[in-house]
Structure 1
Amino acid sequence: MFEDSVGDMTGKKAIWMAVSFFSLVVLLLMYYLGVENYSDHIIDNNKFEEIVGSRALADDMSVQVSFDKQNLFYDDAAKTFFYSLIDDKEEAYDPSVEVTGDADVQFAFLDSKITDDVIANNIPIRCIFYNDRSYCIRKIVCTFLPIMNLECDGEITESETEMSMSLYDNRQQCRARDLSSDGFVRIRGGNTKVFPKKPLKLSLVQRGEGDDRQGNDMSLLGMRKDDDYILYPAYNDAEKVRNVFSQNLWYNSCNTNNRYGITTGVEYRFLELFINGEYNGLYALGYTPDEKMGDISKNDEGTGFYKRVVGIDSARVLFDQYGGIFGWRAENVPADDDDGNLKEKRWNLLMDYLENLQENSEDVGALEACIDIDNAIDYTLFINLIQGDDNLYKNYYLCVKETDDGYYSYICPWDLDVTWGNMWVPNVKNGYLQYGHEPHYNLLFEDLYLGQIMAGNSSDIVRKCCDRFEELRENAWSDEVIQKMLDEYEKDVCFSGAYLRDKERWSDGNYREEGEPNNFDRFRDYVSQRLSEANKYYARLRKVSGEDIFIRRAAQYKNFDNSSFVIEINDRGLLNDSSYVALLGRIGGIDVGKIDENVRYVVKIHGKETVYLSDFAEGDSPCENPVEMSFGGHKLVLKSGVERDYLDDTGYTVYLDGVACYDAYTADREPFIVSLAYEGFGEKMNLKREYRINFN
């Protein structure tokens, strides 16, 4: 045993000596071969003036610069080289330098080391190239990000354009630094493709014999092997991080938490993009959810993979002119499905799935059997945590599989830019209001099966949701894990200088307010507050987990007990329903006996008496002229201003003391409306209880 130990020690010593000898040899070779580093060529202004004063300016000098064997990307229009530092490599701040091109060319860097401050503040390094007769001046920009260039034959449009892709991977651990592929590029996306900075799709191909081209599966920046990638521009996000952060958070935490361990998430990596050698800004490289994640065959008749693309309630099922269901897109339809047979089966499967939901709307057990409950809970918790305002009735992928026992389905999140306080508002810059929501704002995904389960007698599922949230907060959603993720993205976006370069390139995009520091301080603070408010919400929810659905929903609202309320009653029969009566009791101070046939609105001012008001007079229309009802120094106003195109219905907004509480409609009045008003903000409660499909 002792001899074995001595042998191990002797072996380790021999290895150490060999490594040391090899390192010494490398250093000696570098010395004798004349390898020069960046720091060897820094000059002061006097030396610069001496070089310039005895030579003529010649902008046509041809030079190629390499740092540590990395051929620097060059933007000819900006006369700028781009240097991507290898991640976490100290030597990257003083790289070896090699310059080739015109004969006898020499080079120097004007009085500037490569530092974190230089990189973060996008300070270009001035570099002079010269020989005995002439000189030229160029700039070098340093970044912590990978760099991609697309060389295209023509303009990039929504049709595929041939291109060649080259990528420099600066991650510390990667198999190859320089990657390249032929392929095609096109503009992709929905609303975001109208912005000047376009979202793009890359299709990588490899050439075979003749004109034969096949998909070229490659792992780019450590992601899965694929031949399809997307480039996400984040034009409308002031921090440029929400979509990337949210998608990767799901991938790292809830991705395979389902019955079969199926992948339900995608990844993104930040990079800086050039198109035909010209700088095009900060992008994120990623891919879309697809059938590959679940190993779904396009020819599998019993499985459908769908994208929810239009944000209307799933209970409104409309058929489009192509035989599909409006608002959905069937993804796994083979291109050679000439007779439409498989496409028809895809739509029939989705329709059967929705019909099953309707038929079993009051049977919690039957509903649970048709979904992956863990995946559905995770998605609901996740969308609430990140405040996915645009992900309640659209922007998710749904896989439906018909089995011998019924159905099986799971959800994949997608398009998570309207999150973490952001909200869509049509009349603000680029349509997105930065930090429009408060950190305590909760919204729940209540579409499809889990929404119907939660509306029923499901206290055990509610407690399971609370348990799962606590589990995630202790691990994958802990403050420490999330702040570490933000550290990485802050380095990528801010400390790389890419944010400032992107702002120079696309000045009309959304960015931080002038004067805000070049970091994620505000975003970090918001995320931290949101995590804290989510903790409080699920603590409130746990306390009322056994109560009626409306009492549980009241827990969503941090200020419920400090709010004023506007209640509109259009179906007095609901006053005989214990759930609605319980909600009125939870609000407090409302006498149900006073709500007779003459009462349409009940207004409860916080800390004051309740007022019972009639409807606007017959013949009046708030859609044409404002209707005002005054009481005790307060005012309820009904004023035109909203429309619903898909119902051809004109509506109006209800205001309490100037606070917009909710939208209402003359042709389609909801049976029972409860809206809160507090601190200048109005919010309508969700009182949906049953899933009913309207076949049109």
Structure 2
Amino acid sequence: MGTPQTNSAYQVTAQGQRFTLYFTQLPVVHLDARNPIVDSPSTYAKFTLAEPNGTVTELSAGVEIRGAYSQTYPKKSYELSLWNDTTGATSRDARLLQMRTDNKWNLQALYNEPLRLRSKVANEVWLDMHQIYYKASEPDAKNGIATAYVEVFVNNEYKGIYSLTERVDRKQLKLKKYDKGIKGELYKGSSWDGAVTFTALPPYDNTSETWGGFEYKHPEEEINWSNLYAFVGFVKSSSDQEFYSRYQEQLKLDNAVDYYIFLNLLRATDNTGKNLYIAKYKTGEPYFFVPWDLDGVFGTDWQGLNSPTTDDLLSNGLFDRLSQDCAANGFRSALSRRWTQLRTTVLTEDRLRAKFAAAHNYLQANNVYARERHAWRDFTYSPDQLTYMNTWLHDRLAYLDVAFTQPCSSPTLATATSQKTDALTLYPNPANDYIIVTATEPYELCVRDLRGQMLLRVQGRGRQEKITLGTLAKGLYVATITGAGSVRTQKLVIN
């Protein structure tokens, strides 16, 4: 056979059966579970990590399926808790693939990423462009996560390419621990509600681990929503004079600028409220953002479908207000300066395209796309996706070069965004027999199922129109309304 090649496939026969044999330079994870792996609780599994250099790590682990909507996908993501024994009575820390030393890890399935690379590149870009502001005091603190490709077997069944990742938690951010009271704080935006988008201020209940779309993450010793409630209330309800004179006391400006740039560079439509973390290092310090769950990015939506819009800006209630700050030391000035700086360093088009190419070439050289097709029959590798991403990136950067550096006397970024969003609306949702679309311009409505198959297409003239859903079955769909200058994509539930 000669020297085996990682970009080739070989036909072999064993015990009278023919198999396709592949070689890989990627680390390989084996999970040998005692019982079926479910959402909760964790089940014991023997965790084995074999690295290309010959290093083999064997550990006990608790494994459970992770995610919310992603649990409906056939390829599951997993949460790993490393244990000292088979019961999980005590945890065990380990350093995996040159990442942090910890007992908690995630295996991301990448199922809704056409090239299995967008979220990995996005996380790398964030770490390139942003560093946690108290790094001098906490050298090990990191505002983001490292990731590494691995190939996964579960009970000897090949599951394909995964991303082994660190987690966003108190330990990653080095937040101050609870000490006779709350010091550091951490909240996760986990569902779409008014508080996570800074557009509503619902009452809170300190007996609940959720509020307004947030999950309470730290400290574990005490649930108290009052601090975050006060911050959201300040953003939503304070007068302009109070907001613009005091917001930099409560929010780390440099971090907010970088997150806004990052959010819009990726056009991460599922990350304006949900799928981010808000943290505070210690009492008296400002809040800051940590990105999370970066799959619907770089020209795709949360379902992995192409979303070609490049000429809009994502926002929420907080960024709507920040974008109207024209002070010399305010948000808009900081945004313009930071964008200009980043565009000559880590956010050049050549550098970003090189990241796409490096990840794609690595997976292709190891024949990963062929194996994904074997493991998941609905996966289709399309090399055109790389061309699409590069074209999308070029157009997106060109638009942001203007949008982020325009004079503050021009119409605000937030106003422009709000007008685009409000131009296209769909309701009721959930729906029964019909929906109503309101638009200020001619539009096209497309309804797809979760596999991307087009089930309904309607050309509308604008204003308010009632559209019958016909024979569409009960379930979850993706509705896209496309106008002349704007696109709106959202989940549609039919009861």
Pairwise same-fold verdict (TM > 0.5): yes
Does structure 1 conserve the Cα–Cα contact (< 8 Å) formed by 2:298 and 2:392? Answer: no
Which residue number in structure 2 is paired with residue 170 of structure 1? 52
- Give the AA of the match of 1:140: L
1:531, distance to aligned residue in structure 2 (A):
4.1
SS in 2 for 1:484: helix
C-alpha deviations, 1:389-438, integer Å up to 9, x for none?
A: 1001211000135645xx511100001111111124xxxxxxx2522223
Residues 81-120 of structure 1 mapped to structure 2, 5 A cutoff: 113-115=3-5, 119-120=6-7
- Equivalent residues, number: 443
In structure 2, which of residues 245, 255, 258 is the aligned counterpart of residue 375 of structure 1?
A: 255
Which residue number in structure 2 is paired with residue 359 of structure 1? 238
C-alpha deviations, 1:345-370, integer Å up to 9, x for none?
A: 2x111112223333354431311221
- Give the AA of the match of 1:353: F
1:169, distance to aligned residue in structure 2 (A):
1.5
In structure 2, which of residues 102, 113, 128 is the aligned counterpart of residue 252 of structure 1?
A: 128
Which residue number in structure 1 is paired with residue 78 of structure 2? 200
- Give the AA of the match of 1:393: G
Which residue number in structure 2 is paired with residue 124 of structure 1? 10
Matched, 1:311 2:311: no
Which residue number in structure 2 is paired with residue 643 of structure 1? 428
Kindly tell me: are residues 298 and 190 of structure 1, through their superposed partners in 2, closer, same or farther at Cα, counting changes over 3 Å? farther
Which residue number in structure 2 is paired with residue 140 of structure 1? 21
Which residue number in structure 2 is paired with residue 190 of structure 1? 68
1:243, distance to aligned residue in structure 2 (A):
1.3
Kindly tell me: are residues 370 and 297 of structure 1, through their superposed partners in 2, closer, same or farther at Cα, counting changes over 3 Å? closer
1:277, distance to aligned residue in structure 2 (A):
1.8
Q: Which has the higher contact order (CA 8 A, sep 6+)?
A: 2
Matched, 1:331 2:201: no
- Give the AA of the match of 1:247: N
1:663, distance to aligned residue in structure 2 (A):
8.9
- Give the AA of the match of 1:224: R
In structure 2, which of residues 154, 157, 160 is the aligned counterpart of residue 281 of structure 1?
A: 160
Kindly tell me: are residues 277 and 292 of structure 1, through their superposed partners in 2, closer, same or farther at Cα, counting changes over 3 Å? same
1:442, distance to aligned residue in structure 2 (A):
3.1
* CA–CA distance in structure 2, aligned partners of residues 665 and 333 of structure 1: 49
Which residue number in structure 2 is paired with residue 226 of structure 1? 102
Matched, 1:506 2:376: yes
SS in 1 for 2:97: coil
- Give the AA of the match of 1:653: T
Kindly tell me: are residues 664 and 393 of structure 1, through their superposed partners in 2, closer, same or farther at Cα, counting changes over 3 Å? farther
1:316, distance to aligned residue in structure 2 (A):
1.5
1:665, distance to aligned residue in structure 2 (A):
11
Q: Unaligned stretches of 5+ in structure 1?
A: 1-41, 43-111, 130-134, 425-431, 569-637, 667-674, 685-696
* CA–CA distance in structure 2, aligned partners of residues 242 and 663 of structure 1: 37
* CA–CA distance in structure 2, aligned partners of residues 663 and 206 of structure 1: 63
* CA–CA distance in structure 2, aligned partners of residues 356 and 184 of structure 1: 41
C-alpha deviations, 1:232-260, integer Å up to 9, x for none?
A: 11111211111111112212321435686
In structure 2, which of residues 314, 317, 323 is the aligned counterpart of residue 454 of structure 1?
A: 323
* CA–CA distance in structure 2, aligned partners of residues 661 and 495 of structure 1: 49
SS in 2 for 1:411: strand
Kindly tell me: are residues 412 and 663 of structure 1, through their superposed partners in 2, closer, same or farther at Cα, counting changes over 3 Å? farther
Does structure 2 conserve the Cα–Cα contact (< 8 Å) formed by 1:205 and 1:216? Answer: yes
1:170, distance to aligned residue in structure 2 (A):
1.8
C-alpha deviations, 1:80-108, integer Å up to 9, x for none?
A: xxxxxxxxxxxxxxxxxxxxxxxxxxxxx
* CA–CA distance in structure 2, aligned partners of residues 225 and 441 of structure 1: 41
* CA–CA distance in structure 2, aligned partners of residues 227 and 645 of structure 1: 40
Matched, 1:386 2:386: no
Q: Unaligned stretches of 5+ in structure 2?
A: 445-459, 467-480, 489-495
Does structure 1 conserve the Cα–Cα contact (< 8 Å) formed by 2:441 and 2:483? Answer: yes
Does structure 2 conserve the Cα–Cα contact (< 8 Å) formed by 1:642 and 1:663? Answer: no
Which residue number in structure 1 is paired with residue 278 of structure 2? 398
Does structure 2 conserve the Cα–Cα contact (< 8 Å) formed by 1:184 and 1:203? Answer: yes
- Give the AA of the match of 2:32: E
SS in 1 for 2:378: coil
Does structure 2 conserve the Cα–Cα contact (< 8 Å) formed by 1:377 and 1:465? Answer: yes
With the length of structure 2 as denominator, give the TM-score of the two structures: 0.79
Kindly tell me: are residues 127 and 478 of structure 1, through their superposed partners in 2, closer, same or farther at Cα, counting changes over 3 Å? farther
1:683, distance to aligned residue in structure 2 (A):
4.8
Which residue number in structure 1 is paired with residue 455 of structure 2? none
Residues 32-111 of structure 1 mapped to structure 2, 5 A cutoff: 42=1
1:536, distance to aligned residue in structure 2 (A):
4.0
Matched, 1:421 2:299: yes
- Give the AA of the match of 1:654: A
Which residue number in structure 1 is paired with residue 111 of structure 2? 235
* CA–CA distance in structure 2, aligned partners of residues 136 and 240 of structure 1: 31
